[in-house]
Amino acid sequence: MNSRNWIYAWLMLLPAFVFLIAFTHLPAVTTLIDSFFTTAKGRRAAAFTGLGNYQKMLGDPIFVKAMVNSAIYAAITIPASIALSLAMALLVHRSFRGVSLMRMAFFTPTVLPLIAVANIWLFFYAPGFGLIDQIRLYFGLPSANYVGQPDTALYAVAAVTIWKEAGFFMIFFLAALQTIPQSLREAAAIEGCGRWTFFRRVTLPLIMPTTLFVSVNAVINAFRLVDHVFVMTKGGPDSATMLLLYYIFETGFRFWDTAYAAALTVVLIAILSVVGIGQFFLADRRVHYK
């Protein structure tokens, strides 16, 4: 590589970086700066408060709850949606009667916007006339109020996320499964290799890059997918479904406490960095030394 190359390189990077810096890095830096100040109100200017906003967090029960909820939400939705999507892909990967219908069923979450689907799920969960309750009543079970009880609301919301994510990720696994050569299957069949062994020894390692790709997406989405919370619970009841990003939105755009929202954003970024960067480097290394 000659020395002139770096000019080309910079020229190629320039357009992307203009946008990147203007809409991500600069605003992120202002957010960080804002988090050290109080929120400016029309009648009061912003004042430097140092770590004041961060100290406030420690005594903020909703923040603590949002952290716990986000952790549970991530711990449920990430593995569940990855496992389910892989299972779905394995199912519809083969051809049998009705496979296209099944494929379409798994594909629906990709075409239906979450903001609209949330209303449908709200109907499923509704006590009394809701779909699930109608089924429960049919079997003589008492009515259940899934989104209206603090101990079930978060799981009810997480179920919608899993529905959304698994259908989407299935497509990627389906594509990956297709790259496994048929000859490997034949060889395995001849050697009398069991289904499970084949999956563990051949399929799983071969689709590892896809699994990493999907899990990066799953991690980001576990902290980003909150559209349905707006419609279904608004973080309630009693903050039972309060997730970190929804709390940031609420603090910033409902309570207008932008400084505190900025500090919360900084915390979210820090969490994502810890979880995310680890994954990226893992993915990076795999490709490097393959």
Partner 1 sequence: MKLLNVFLATSALTLFASQANAVDLEFYFPVAVGGAAADTIQSLTEEYMANNEGVKIDAIYTGSYADTTTKAITAVRGGNAPQLIISLSTDMYTFIDEDMIVAWDNYLTEDEQKNWIGGFYPAFMANSQTEGKTWGIPFQRSTPVLYWNKEAFKAAGLDPEKGPANWAEMVEMGKKLTVKDASGNVTQWGVHIPSSGFPSWLWTGIVAGNGGLLADDTGKNVNFNSDAAVGALEALVSLSSKDGVMAPGILDWGGTPKAFFEGQAAMIWTTTGNLTNVRTNAPFDFGVGFLPGLKQNGAPTGGGNFYLLKGSTDEELQAAADFVKWATAPEQAAKWTIATGYVAPRPDVWETETMKDYVKGFPQALVARDQLDYAVAELSTFEGPKVTQLLNSALESAITGQKSPKEALDGAQAEADAILKAYH
Partner 2 sequence: MIGETTFDRVLIRGGGALLALIWIAPLAYAVWAAFHPPAFEARFELMAPLTLDNFASAWSQAPFARYFLNTILLVTMILSAQLVLCTLAAFAFARLEFPGKTFLFTLILMQLLVMPDILLVENYKTMRALGLVDTIIAIGLPYFASGFAIFLLRQTFMTIPKELDEAARVEGCSLLGLLWRVYVPLGKPAMLAFGLVSVSHHWNNFLWPLIITNSVETRPLTVGLSIFATTDSGTEWAVINAATLMTSAPLLLGFLLFQRQFVQSFMRAGIK
What track of x and - describes contact with partner 1 for positions 32 through 51 (by CB under 8 A)? ---------xxx--------
Give the span between the Cα atoms of 214 and 83, in whole angstroms.
11
Task: Count other C-beta atoms under 10 Å from residue 259's C-beta.
Answer: 24
How would you label 69-81 residue by residue, b for 16+ Cβ within 10 Å and e otherwise? Answer: bbeebbebbbebb
Contact pick of 8, 23, 129, 199 for partner 1 (by CB under 8 A): 129
Give the span between the Cα atoms of 134 and 101, in whole angstroms.
26
Size of the site for partner 1 (CB under 8 A): 33
Q: Which of 90, 73, 119 is nearest to 218 (CA)?
A: 73
Give the shortest CB-47-to-partner 2 separation in angstroms. 19
Q: Which of 77, 72, 75, 56 is nearest to 267 (CA)?
A: 56
Residues written for the chain: 290
| Residue number with CB closer to partner 1 (210 or 251) | 251
What track of x and - describes contact with partner 1 for positions 147 through 166 (by CB under 8 A)? xxxx----------------
Contact pick of 46, 52, 127, 188 for partner 1 (by CB under 8 A): 127
What track of x and - describes contact with partner 1 for positions 176 through 195 (by CB under 8 A)? --------------------
What residue has token string 């991530």?
74
Give the shortest CB-136-to-partner 1 separation in angstroms. 9
Segment lying near partner 1 (by CB under 8 A), choices 66-74, 164-172, 199-207, 233-241: 233-241
Give the span between the Cα atoms of 100 and 107, in whole angstroms.
10
Contact pick of 50, 98, 128, 192 for partner 1 (by CB under 8 A): 128
Segment lying near partner 1 (by CB under 8 A), choices 72-80, 97-105, 122-130, 162-170: 122-130
